[in-house]
Copies of this chain bind each other. A is one copy, B any other.
Amino acid sequence: MTIAVVGVGLIGGSLAITLKENGFAGRVIGVDQSAANIDKAIRRRLIDEGLPLADALRQAGLVVLATPVDAMARLLPETLGLITPEQVVIDVGSTKGQLLEAVKAHPNRGRYVATHPMAGTEFSGPEAAVPNLFDHKCAVLVDVKDSDADALELVKRMYAGIPMQLVELERDAHDLHSAYVSHISHISSFALALTVLEKERDEARIFELASGGFSSTVRLAKSSPDMWVPIFRQNRDYVLDVLDEHINQLARFRSLLIKKDFEAFYQLIEQANDIKRILK
């Protein structure tokens, strides 16, 4: 099968090379507004060739939208308008509410499957793409009742073959969950980086000391604003809810420190340790 990947960055490029390597894709066409990205993607063998969107759509059985989510809101209706009833379109974006709203009445809505392969790194661009990024991670399929059965079948087969674990969610549940397990981690990490950078004006030394713990909590602070600002814009309401909760939790620790109530502080850490149940 020929696949068109629109946006050959970290996610699109990683999916392209993965599907090429496991045989699901016979040929991968890249579409990107940056000619430099197309060049890099070809040289890194992520894609077989680069074409304009309309040309790519004429040849692809499956179209993968992998741009930042603001561009998707424009590209998805346009793409659905250009395809035939045999073709299938997916997106791989991190928020779904606005995107699904934008195409809910589209005559080709059934050919579209909303997906979110939950994997990534703090890097971006085709140079960050790697073949095993998605292995054994979770792919969320959103509002599957609105997709044609054959389109859904194809997409499930694609993700299951990587292999990824499949989960189906409604759009609101997906966007809330994304806020919890992904978007808030990024804001927390951005804020932690700023906290330390603020101090660094006085104290250059601090960075010689940055140990493993700091590196891992602050890793996501390297993430690209071009990818993340559109996500925060689209998922603003849920992100605000979760951010309020996160600030509340930090305020609990603060209040216990002020009161020097280290017994309760101990219990709070024990509660947090409960995360071991879930993440090994």
Contact = CB atoms under 8 A, between A and B. Distances in A.
A187 B250 contact: yes
This protein's copies in its complex: 2
Contact of A247 (B184, B196, B250): B250
A139 B59 CA distance: 59
A225 B270 contact: yes
Interface stretch (A21-29, A99-107, A146-154, A261-269): A261-269
Nearest to A217: B185
Nearest to A253: B187
A203 B238 CA distance: 15
A139 to B, nearest CB: 10
Nearest to A245: B195
Contact of A214 (B185, B233, B276): B185
A218 interface: yes
Contact of A278 (B194, B207, B224): B207
Interface string A144-179: 000000000000000000000101010001001110
B198 A217 contact: no
Contact of A211 (B173, B181, B244): B181
A87 interface: no
A137 B273 contact: no
